[in-house]
Amino acid sequence: MSQRASRPTEAVAFADILQAQKTIRPFLAPTPLYHYPSLDTLVGAEIYVKHENYQPIGAFKVRGGINLMAHLPQAYRDSGVVTASTGNHGQSIAYAAQQFGVRATIVVPEGANPVKVAAMRSYGAEVIFHGADFEACKRYCSVLEAEQGMRYINSGNEPHLIAGVGTHTLEIFTEQPHIDVLIVPLGGGSGVAGACLAAKTIRPQTRVIAVQASGAPAGYLTWQARERRTAAIDTFAAGLATGEPFMMPQELIWPRLDDFVLVDDQEMRIAIRHFLEKAKTLAEPAGAAPLAAALKMRDSLQGKKVALILSGGNISPAELSECLALDLPA
């Protein structure tokens, strides 16, 4: 692996991802990267799936959670941590906090995915329902931080989170060093930022493409404008349902990201169904977004070696039922 100097103002460097790999290895084994000929036929490319849905919490964010908690100062290990989440980030912090004996409080929106909420509680976290969406949860975290002296963990603007999740891309290139295109879902942006840092250092010619829900395009609009843009949230993909951008990952992807694709809810439902039938694996909406993007841009992917980061598999029974009810063409 080659290593290129990071820009001096950047919060995360490739060396941080290498260090994070050493930090998380005692806690997390590498996830599989599987090739699926049935998906090759569907897309017209050589498709590899990075199975982050096989993580202990069923999602990639646990990499960042472990890395951050391992570096948490003792004072905050004593006072506890608080964070806002639509599900997977909260599970990550809850799981990692349990591993390190830290008290965790997770603020989730009213109506949050019950599968994810139950998982957070199973890891010992206190779950507080507050507000209609992720942005309301973030505001309430600031209140709890001030009142109780806990460490507020921002789900996007945290160097240790970005470095930790970037390890999924190190693993991809260890197994398949000649990936032509890497497609990564973007909610807060930590996963895409980590992927860009790793991929563009290891193999600069690899195209890194972000994918976001068309019903929550704040990250896409911010990437286009190169300045903060907000957007309304209207998507069932909880992992992509962010109305405001996180600027730390945005500034990391601006000089590195090659393209950005928006997919709608129906396209993600179809991709979930394809993952289930053709790869025999369960994807949540955000996790299926890279396959939805690949199908949308299949003409430009013909004959290429493509890696899809299946970021998580925490889909609710109701969401899965909608996907199973689809009448897909033969």
Strand-pair category, 207-213 with 181-185:
parallel
Q: How many CB atoms lie within 10 A of CB 279?
A: 19
Beta strand spans in 21-65 (E): 33-35, 46-51
> Taking phi first (over 0 means left), then psi (-120 to 50 degrees means alpha), and beta for anything else, what does residue 226 get?
left
Q: Number of H helices and number of E strands within the chain?
A: 16, 10
Beta strand spans in 79-179 (E): 81-84, 104-108, 126-129, 151-153
Active site residue 61: yes
What's the gap between Cα 243 and its chain centre?
Answer: 16
50, 61, 138, 200: the active-site residue: 61
SS3 262: strand
85, 155, 190, 311: the active-site residue: 311
Task: For residue 196, give the nearest of 185, 187, 209 by alpha carbon.
Answer: 209
Instruction: Provide the annotated active-site residues.
Output: 61, 311
